[in-house]
């Protein structure tokens, strides 16, 4: 594998099991995202976009195949090692928010930095910097539970960026945003904030797919 590979998905098979039945999502998916590249994944509802993001984030495991993140085969690593690698290298914006509703925006953004062992002053500087970059400094002391769905999405995006990860995984990141905020987020993908970063983003939106360096189309598997 070349050293400029950020993500490599190799012959991945994913099947969900439940109630004695198996639900195949994909049989054999392969693709690569080079460092600094922006790859969009499109496809109809239920084709496996979120499943793919979870697999690349190491939150779920495939039945077959290999997934490499920055050259490391995450399918072969124990869970705690995958978590560490995720904390260091990946930022994830989930389709369904994973922010902690009872905490403030500041506290949600600060938490990953606590795990990284940053001092309180460094954490404050970093949180303020990221909030400013995403035009959401005015939410800083709000409880996440009180945010609108679109506001929550912007905070999730800021949180994914908080540890300055090399790779961003974005699952329908512009859902729930008004057209202006959507434009600002999409523009940021090619802007200074994300310069040099690798992006893997699922989307239903043409605007975003247009901006990507490449687009792959996942087909829905018929039952
Ligand atoms: N835990 C699970 N158990 C069984 N089936 C599941 C599970 N999670 C997802 N699926 C099924 O796997 C398929 C892929 O789901 P996934 O959430 O990846 O789709 P998606 O492409 O992200 O859809 P959307 O565009 O609606 O977000 C769907 O048919 C879904 O019902
Ligand atoms: Mg999805």
Reported as a single tens digit per residue, the pLDDT across 160-210 is 999 999 999 999 999 888 998 888 888 888 888 888 999 999 998 888 888
Ligand 1: does its nearest atom lie under 6 Å from the Cβ of 25? yes
How many Å lie between the centroid of ligand 2 and the Cα of residue 117?
32
pLDDT at residue 222 is higher than 80: no
23's enclosing H/E stretch is strand 21-34
What pTM was estimated for this model as a whole? 0.94
Ligand 1: does its nearest atom lie under 6 Å from the Cβ of 78? no
Contact 185, 170 (CB under 8 A): no
pLDDT at residue 159 is higher than 70: yes
Please state at what angle helix 120-133 crosses helix 105-115, rounded to 10 degrees: 130
How many Å lie between the centroid of ligand 2 and the Cα of residue 130?
26
Q: Domains in the chain, start-ordered, CATH in brackets?
A: 5-100+166-217 (3.40.50.300)
Cα gap 59→69, rounded to integer Å: 13
pLDDT the model gives residue 204: 85
pLDDT the model gives residue 192: 82
Ligand 1: does its nearest atom lie under 6 Å from the Cβ of 55? no
More confident residue, 61 or 133: 61
Reported as a single tens digit per residue, the pLDDT across 78-99 is 999 999 999 899 999 999 999 9
Please tell me the residue having the least CA distance from ligand 1 atom 11.
46
pLDDT the model gives residue 103: 98
């Amino acid at each position: 594998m070349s050293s400029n590979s950020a993500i490599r998905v190799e012959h991945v098979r994913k099947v969900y099991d439940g109630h004695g039945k198996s639900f195949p999502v994909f049989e054999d998916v392969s693709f690569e995202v080079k460092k600094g590249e922006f790859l969009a994944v499109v496809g109809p509802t239920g084709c496996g976009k979120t499943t793919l993001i979870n697999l690349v984030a190491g939150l779920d495991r495939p039945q077959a195949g290999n997934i490499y993140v920055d050259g490391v085969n995450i399918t072969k690593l124990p869970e705690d090692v995958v978590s560490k690698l995720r904390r260091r290298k990946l930022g994830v914006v989930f389709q369904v928010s994973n922010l902690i509703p009872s905490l403030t925006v500041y506290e949600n953004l600060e938490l990953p930095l606590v795990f990284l062992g940053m001092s309180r002053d460094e954490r404050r500087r970093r949180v303020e910097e990221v909030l400013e970059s995403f035009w959401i400094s005015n939410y800083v002391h709000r409880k996440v539970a009180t945010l609108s769905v679109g506001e929550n999405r912007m905070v999730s995006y800021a949180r994914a960026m908080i540890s300055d990860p090399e790779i961003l995984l974005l699952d329908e990141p512009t859902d729930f945003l008004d057209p202006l905020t959507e434009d600002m987020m999409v523009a940021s993908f090619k802007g200074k904030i994300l310069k040099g970063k690798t992006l893997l983003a699922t989307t239903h939106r043409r605007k975003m797919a247009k901006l990507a360096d490449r687009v792959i189309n996942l087909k829905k598997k018929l039952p």
